[in-house]
């Protein structure tokens, strides 16, 4: 296994994100996806955490499976929502016993149902970051929003909070976005605040325009008109839409690498085809 901070220090990374499936069919499908991506030798993969900590057990199960059954370094997402400090300590103890070395410490989403909202000892992700670092033994990442966090009051406050997190964390991974300018401006703004930690851009290949537009709206991101127009040319042909989405993502990735991005993190939605095509287009890994 490897610490992500060390991987980023050694050179450009390529990584993928998965979410814990809800049923046996989903686990079988994800197993095939990981098997298809493993030959690309990803530097690491991340595993998401459901709203309000709702996938706590399934997240841990998937992280443990990746750790034990593959050659890939896993990173576990961990959120503030629905957790006491004792809960977090127990989770970290278990991850350490598993040999997991990487945590992405997040604020997290509230559960959809109000009665599912469990008590939390955390209000902001910076508090969770400090606790994970104090526990020791983990490389710690945080989230960054190039187009500002949806709950930010203003740009100055948003960048200030992100700078505060990155002064103690090792790296950041961004929410997905489609305008490279947003990423470059964010990095420049953090540099002006004296923060130089690696910020890995998150990439969402478009296969379903409606789905991605809804996800972007929830995260405070925008799908530019030029992206919508290009994908819309596919009409009802879903395969063509996915091919166009790969072309768009490849162009965005190439521009990000030219701008100095330290790596690329692909939101796979538990599918492999688009991510494999983009990696091949960019020549990031040997073809298999």
Catalytic (active site) residue 189: no
Count of C-beta atoms within a 10 Å radius of residue 148:
19
Where are the extended beta strands (E) located within 83-177?
Answer: 102-106, 139-144, 171-176
Separation of alpha carbons 204 and 227, rounded Å:
12
Q: What three-state secondary structure class fits 104?
A: strand
Count of C-beta atoms within a 10 Å radius of residue 152:
17
* Active-site entry in 17, 101, 147, 242: 17
Per DSSP, what are the bridge partners of residue 193? none
Where are the extended beta strands (E) located within the chain?
Answer: 13-18, 44-47, 74-79, 102-106, 139-144, 171-176, 199-203, 263-267
What the block records as the tokens of 51 is: 């709203």
What the block records as the tokens of 125 is: 């992700």
Give catalytic residue positions: 17
């Amino acid at each position: 296994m490897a610490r992500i901070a060390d991987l980023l220090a050694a050179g450009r990374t390529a990584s993928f994100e998965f979410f814990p499936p809800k049923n046996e069919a989903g686990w079988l499908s994800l197993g095939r996806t990981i098997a298809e991506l493993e030959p690309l030798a990803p530097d690491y993969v991340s595993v998401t955490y459901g709203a309000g900590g709702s996938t706590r057990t399934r997240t841990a199960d998937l992280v443990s499976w990746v750790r034990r059954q593959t050659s890939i370094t896993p990173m576990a997402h961990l959120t503030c929502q629905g957790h006491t400090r004792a809960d977090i300590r127990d989770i970290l103890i278990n991850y350490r016993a598993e040999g997991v070395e990487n945590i992405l410490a997040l604020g997290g989403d509230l559960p959809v149902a109000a009665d599912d909202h469990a008590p939390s000892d955390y209000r902001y992700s910076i508090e969770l970051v400090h606790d994970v670092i104090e526990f020791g033994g983990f490389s710690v990442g945080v989230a960054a929003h190039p187009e500002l966090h949806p709950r930010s009051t203003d740009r100055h406050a948003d960048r200030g909070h992100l700078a505060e997190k990155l002064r103690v964390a090792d790296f950041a991974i961004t929410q997905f976005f489609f305008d490279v300018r947003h990423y470059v401006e964010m990095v420049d703004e953090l540099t002006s605040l004296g923060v130089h930690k690696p910020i890995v851009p998150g990439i969402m290949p478009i296969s379903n325009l409606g789905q991605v537009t809804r996800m972007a709206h929830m995260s405070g991101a925008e799908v530019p008109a030029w992206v919508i127009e290009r994908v819309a040319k596919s009409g009802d042909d879903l395969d063509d839409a996915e091919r166009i989405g790969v072309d768009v993502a490849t162009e965005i990735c190439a521009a990000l690498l030219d701008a100095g991005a330290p790596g690329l993190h692909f939101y796979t939605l538990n599918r492999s085809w688009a991510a494999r095509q983009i990696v091949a287009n960019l020549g990031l890994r040997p073809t298999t």
